[in-house]
Amino acid sequence: MEFQIFGIGILTWLVFLPIVGMIVVLLLPDKKSNAMRWTAAIVTGLQVILAGVIYAIFDRAKVGVNDIESFQFVEQFSWITVEAVPWVGRIEIEYFMGLDGLSVLMVMLTALIGFIGVISSWNIEKMVKGYFALYLLLVTGMMGVFVALDFFLFFIFWEVMLLPMYFLIGLWGGPRREYAAIKFFLYTFVGGILMLLTMLALYFSVAYIDPATGQSVHTFNMLHMMNPENFVEGSLLFGVDTTWRYVAWMALFINFAIKIPLFPFHTWLPDAHVEAPTPISVILAGVLLKLGAYGLLRINFGILPDATIYFVYFMAALGMISIIYGALCAMAQDDFKKLIAYSSISHMGIVVLGIAALNTQGMVGGVLQMFNHGIITAVLFLAVGVLYDRTQKRGLYDFGGIANQMPRYTGIAVVGMFAALGLPGLNGFVSELFSFLGAFEAYKWITIISVTGIIITAAYILWTVQRVFLGKTPEKLETLKDLTLREYLAFTPLIILIVLLGIYPAPAIELMNASLAHLVEFVTAGGN
């Protein structure tokens, strides 16, 4: 389906609007802080509207995944073409974007979280221009990764996120921000290099025959990479279940596992979360972590299905370890932000376990969990931010009896906490249930052990609620004020979604059901 605004495709608008905003922000005079804030808000607001348009007209029946015909909003242009090089054939890099059930939900999430991040950035006073310019660049990178269908393009967007994130943590963060920023940068960069090498190996292994000219064309087009027939005989990644394919899978997996983050690649996350300013934590947990899981689905599952099947137990086991380990670590924290960081590791473990099940139920659960976790952690980080703004403290033992002083705030925060806990009726429950159901079909014991993670989660969340919101208010906290209008604005859409998707998750599930069912079929068939 074509959908254009002023002759430019909707996805291009979606991805590059923030860049336009960034340029405007950079051109504004230094003193006009408010104009910069409004620019960022308008740009990300427009993204939300565009995402809404996409939601309205997205065709739920089309599958996508490996079939170009059933992708939607496709934009495909030649970007770099070098004609017939004698020893490699034609070289092709495309500007190729499109949406299918895998990515559409993530695009919505990115638009929403991006907008909410701007609202919660309103009180940033330090170097406003630099902050919003980097922020908008980051949003472009995230959005780009979700819509790119050319590996090269995917990679560019992936790496574009690094530098803004480094500065956003390093310049606007807490006391140990420098350490956290370089740690984040380093971990992700290692992954990036692994992905670069694998991408090149894939590129040289894949060539399709251009029907028009009969030339053999090397391409970064992911859909061509998904077709086993396009692997050139004798090339590095040719064949099924070869060692090099396992190596390639592993390299990609490590890259994505760092981003998710899965145990044992998770150590950057608590540092980054603790030091990052609130809106950046929201972005980090809300969107950035999802990039990893999305990459697994799109690239590892799609391009190397045989290796995926080979490693699927390994993935499930890592998912299990992350669930338990993350939950246990969360229990041990007395820093509010660190607690949420570890709970993110635990919840992302559920995503990995769900998609490793390789059945539709588990996959739907996993992808829905990505979306839900994005919403829930955004609420939690915003909630910490509210307290931090007022008291400059984050320690769990610094608080108590907040419910007396800030009843409305407590209500909202507790909804978020309970959603994270997986309370039926809120969205976290639905996706966790699906994930575990799917996983149980595939791996009984792993799932049984994993589910105990839920109990630990319940424990640390209830304990946190008790320590922070209940009990007697310490004297120094008696002057706390309840939420401001801006804070309501940030919380409201998220809370609505938490409740809505908890009661009636169909609008989200129907977006991706067809695609995920097809992906399952594709992967399970691809291994044989």
Partner 1 sequence: MIEHTLHSISQFYPEIIVVVTLCVIIIVDLLVKNGKHTTGWILLGGLLLAGISVIMQTGSNLAVFYDMVAVDPFAVFFKVLIILSSMFIVLFSMKSSELEAYSSRYGEYYMLLAGMIFGMLLMVGSTNLLMIYLAFEMVSISSYVLVGYMKKERRSSEASMKYIIYGAVSSGVMLYGLSLLVGITGATDIFQVNSALAAGVGESFILNISILMIVVGMGFKIAIVPFHFWAPDVYEGAPITISAFLAVASQIAAFGLIVRFFSISFIDSGGVTATGTWQIVEGLHWDLLLGGMAALAMIVGNLTALRQDNIKRMLAYSSIAHAGYMLMGLVILAGEGLTSIMIYLFIYLFMNLGAFYVAMLFSNKLETESIEKYKGLGFRAPLESIAMTIFLVSLTGLPPTGGFVAKLYIFGAAISGGWIWLVTIAGITTVISLFYYIRVVRNMYFFEAEQGALQLKFDLPSKIILLLLLVPTLLLGIYFEPLIEFARSSIAMFGG
Smallest distance, partner 1 to C-beta of residue 400, A? 35
- Contact segment (CB under 8 A) with partner 1 among 34-42, 162-170, 341-349, 499-507 equals 162-170
Least CB distance to partner 1 at residue 127 (A):
9
Which are the contacts of 380, defined by CB distance < 8 A and separation ≥ 6? 340, 343, 413, 416, 417, 420
Q: Which two tokens stand for residue 400?
A: 């108590």
Q: Based on CB atoms, which residue is closest to partner 1, 78 or 213? A: 78
Residue 423 contacts by C-beta under 8 Å, 6 or more apart in sequence?
A: 429
35 is a contact residue toward partner 1 (CB under 8 A): no
Q: Output 232 or 449, the one with its CB closest to partner 1.
A: 232
Q: Indicate left, alpha or beta for 165 from its phi (over 0: left) and psi (-120 to 50: alpha).
A: alpha
- 354 forms part of the interface with partner 1 (CB under 8 A): no
Which one of residues 58, 115, 135, 167 is an interface residue with partner 1 (CB under 8 A)?
167
Look-up: residue for tokens 């670590």? 329
Instruction: Report if residue 441 touches partner 1, rule: CB under 8 A.
Output: no
Which residue, 41 or 197, is less far from partner 1 as judged by CB? Answer: 197
Listed ranges 1-9, 15-23, 55-63, 193-201: which one lies at the site for partner 1 (CB under 8 A): 193-201
Nearer to partner 1, 148 or 501 (CB): 148
Shortest CB 196 distance to partner 1, Å: 7
Does the protein bind partner 1 through residue 201 (CB under 8 A)? yes
One residue of 1, 193, 332, 448 binding partner 1 per CB under 8 A: 193
**411: Cα separation from own chain's centroid:** 27
Farthest CA pair distance, the chain: 80
The total number of residues shown for the chain amounts to 528
- Site string (63-92) toward partner 1, x via CB under 8 A: ----------------xxxx--xxxx--x-
User: From the CB of 79, what's the least distance to partner 1, in Å?
Assistant: 8
Show the site string, 203-242: x = touches partner 1 by CB under 8 A, - = not.
xx-------------------------------x------
Residue-wise DSSP of 405-455: H-HHHHHHHHHHHHHHHT-TTSHHHHHHHHHHHHHHHH-HHHHHHHHHHHH
Query: Measured from the CB of residue 309, what is the shortest distance to partner 1 in angstroms?
Result: 24
Count of residues touching partner 1 (by CB under 8 A): 37
178 sits near partner 1 (criterion: CB under 8 A): yes
Which residues does residue 95 pair with via DSSP β-bridges, in sequence order?
Answer: 77
- Distance, in Å, from the CA atom of 396 to the CA atom of 78, rounded to the nearest integer, reads 54
The stretch among 166-174, 221-229, 262-270, 394-402 that binds partner 1 (CB under 8 A) is: 166-174
What own/partner pairs with CB < 8 Å and gap ≥ 24 does 461-464 have? 461/343, 461/417, 461/418, 461/420, 461/421, 462/421, 463/331, 464/336, 464/339, 464/396, 464/417
Conformation bin of residue 400: beta by default, left when phi > 0, alpha when psi is -120 to 50: left
- Between 81 and 213, whose beta carbon lies closer to partner 1? 81
CA distances from 62 to 16, 134, 416 (A): 26, 36, 33
What residue ranges bind partner 1 (CB under 8 A)? 79-82, 85-88, 91, 155-156, 159-160, 162-163, 166-167, 170-171, 177-178, 181-182, 185-186, 189-190, 192-194, 196-197, 200-201, 203-204, 236
